[in-house]
Copies of this chain bind each other. A is one copy, B any other.
C-alpha cells in the first residue's frame, strides 16, 4: 500500500460538478489501494476576489488579517470535498492548517516550517482520506498564515514529504509539461518525464505550470511530482531527480524544452569608462535594491577606452533600476542610459547538455540562418539563453524546437 498526495487547483475545484469529478478521481486512487491525502485550492477566482476585498478595505492591509480573509477560500473547498467524498460512501474528513498543524513562518508569503503528521497517521490507520486546504498554515502565535499565491502546490509537496508519500500528483488545467508553448508550436510534445532542474529552468523562464517554490522543495527532498489534467484520463508529466530518471536518460533528447520569457528589459550604459571597479559600481546599487540582473554583455573596444555595458533586469524592476542607476551616474561616469522592453529571452533547457558539447553553437547557427540577431547570451550547466528582439519570438521558438528534435511526428499520439 503506497501513500500519495493528490493536489487539485482552482479550476479543478470551480463548482460542485467539478468537485464531484475530483472526488471520483480520489475514489479511484483509494480503491486502487492508496492511502490518500488531498490538498485543494480555492475555487478559481475566489482568492482574487478575497484579495481585492482586502485591498478595498485598506490599501496597506495588515498581513495577519489578510491571511484570515484569504485562507477562507480553501477552507470552503476542503469542507465541500469532504462532504462529497462522504456522499460517495468514503471515509473523509477535512483538517485545517491550524488543526494538523502546518506550522508556517509568518504572513502572506510564509514558509512551511513543520508539518505534524500524527493526525494523518491515525486517519490512514483507519482507512480514511484526509482533505487539507492548501495555501494555509498557522504561525507559532496561533494566527492563520498563508503561503503566497500558488502556495497550494507547496502545501502539497510539503505534506507529501512529511507523510513520506511515494508521489505527489498535481492535478491542473493542463495535461502536463510541454516541450514548449503549444500556442506557438502546435507540434509541441508533452514530456513523459522532466528533471527538477529542467523544470525549474523552464518555470523561471515562462512555462508556469507549478509554483517554482514547490519544485525546489520537491527537488530538495527527492519527492517525485506528477503534473496531470483533472479533466482528462491519461498520464501527465513526471518530475523527478536525474537519479530517478535512471535508464530513461539514454533515450531522452539532449534538449528537453524551449522556453521564452517576455518579462525582461534591456538596459545599456553607453560610454562606461574603462577603469577598475566601474562595472561593480553599476551593479552594487542594483543588488542592494534586490534587483536581479540576468544577462550581461560588455563590449570593450580598446584598452583604456570607454565601452558599452548591456544587461537585463526583470521588466517590473526597470523603473526602479533606472532610478538607482541615475543615482550613480556621476560617480560611475557613463554617458548615456538606454533602455528597451522590446526584447525576449529564449532558452533551450536540458540535462543532456552536460554530456553534449555544441548545443550553444547549434542554437546560434539556427538563429543566424533565419537572420535573428542575438543581443545577449547567458548559459548555465543545463541551459542556454539568448536575448533577441521580441518580433522574432515565435519564429525563434519554432526553429529551435525543430532543430533540437522536439517536434512531434505528424499524426503521433500526444
Contact = CB atoms under 8 A, between A and B. Distances in A.
Judged by DSSP, the binding face of A is: helix
Interface stretch (A59-67, A208-216, A228-236, A405-413): A59-67
Given A56-B16, A57-B83, A68 B64 contact: no
A78 B81 CA distance: 25
A68 B54 contact: no
A19 B61 CA distance: 15
B72 A75 contact: yes
Nearest to A56: B16
A87 B58 contact: yes
Contact of A79 (B65, B79, B96): B65
A124 interface: no
A16 B57 contact: yes
**What is the copy number of this chain in the assembly?**
2
A93 interface: yes
A182 interface: no
Given A61-B83, A72-B76, A99-B143, 8 more contacts: A16-B56, A62-B82, A62-B83, A65-B80, A65-B86, A67-B79, A68-B78, A98-B98
Interface of A: 16, 19, 50, 53-54, 56-62, 64-69, 71-73, 75-76, 78-84, 86-87, 93-94, 96, 98-99, 142-144
A93 B143 CA distance: 11
A99 B57 contact: no
A84 B57 contact: yes
A80 B56 CA distance: 9
A134 to B, nearest CB: 15
